[in-house]
Amino acid sequence: MAAKTLLFALLLVASPFAFASDPSPLQDFCVADEISRVFVNGFVCKDPKLAKPEDFLFSGLDKPGNTSNKFGSKVTLIDASKIPGLNTLGVSMARLDVAPNGLNPPHIHPRATEILTVIEGSLYVGFVTSNPENKLFSKVLNKGDVFVFPKGLIHFEFNYGPTRAVALASLGSQNPGLIRIGESVFGSNPSISDDILAKAFQVDKKIIDWIQAQFASTN
């Protein structure tokens, strides 16, 4: 009996981690109250009686993103901060614009799987599995092609073509999060010690200092 009780207790403790994801809604919708000062995991719900159609609407995703930057790409994220009605629904989306030879740099979404659909041009995309395999799964996508990036894995999109590429992405979280590998490692504030990074990447500290300077100029 004691063993069964212990096992049941362990399952109760482990279950929140085994099924960790965006919380499921307990009502039809929970429109984010953007003026509330209460801090919660997500957004506080406003009174459903005050909800209006505009709470579920975003306009402008047809407009091209500005790719005039050193990477030549622009991500327009539509999440619960842009559409209050997305709060607790566990989804978001984004438009990706990539200029010729532009790159959406290697990054991860810590809280979401992503499914990407190319609607204009072509993209070379890929993701890398976790250690120790570190296997690259990559593909050239053309208009109408769809590719999936598993949750939490490093991935990228590169436009090797002569024209602008446009893609739409669906993400399995109202707040998928974004960690760009280069900016996080070499552009952190305060900076990670160049001794640590030189050891980690097995290069001279001068190389690390030079790379950090490139990212410092973008912050």
**AA identity, residue 97:** D
Residue (of 106, 111, 129) closest to 172 by Cα position? 111
Tell me if 157 is assigned to a ligand binding site. no
Tell me if 107 is assigned to a ligand binding site. yes
Burial of 57 (0-12, 13-18, 19+ CB in 10 A): exposed
Tell me if 87 is assigned to a ligand binding site. no
3 state DSSP class of 103: strand
Tell me if 155 is assigned to a ligand binding site. yes
Overall residue count recorded for the chain in this entry: 219
Supply φ then ψ for residue 125, to 5 degrees.
Answer: -125, 160
Tell me if 131 is assigned to a ligand binding site. no
Q: Are 55 and 84 in contact, with CB atoms under 8 Å apart? A: yes
- How far apart, in whole angstroms, are the C-alpha atoms of residue 144 and residue 198? 42
As annotated, the binding site includes 104, 107, 109, 114, 155
As annotated, the binding site for Mn(2+) includes 107, 109, 114, 155
As annotated, the binding site for oxalate includes 104, 109, 114
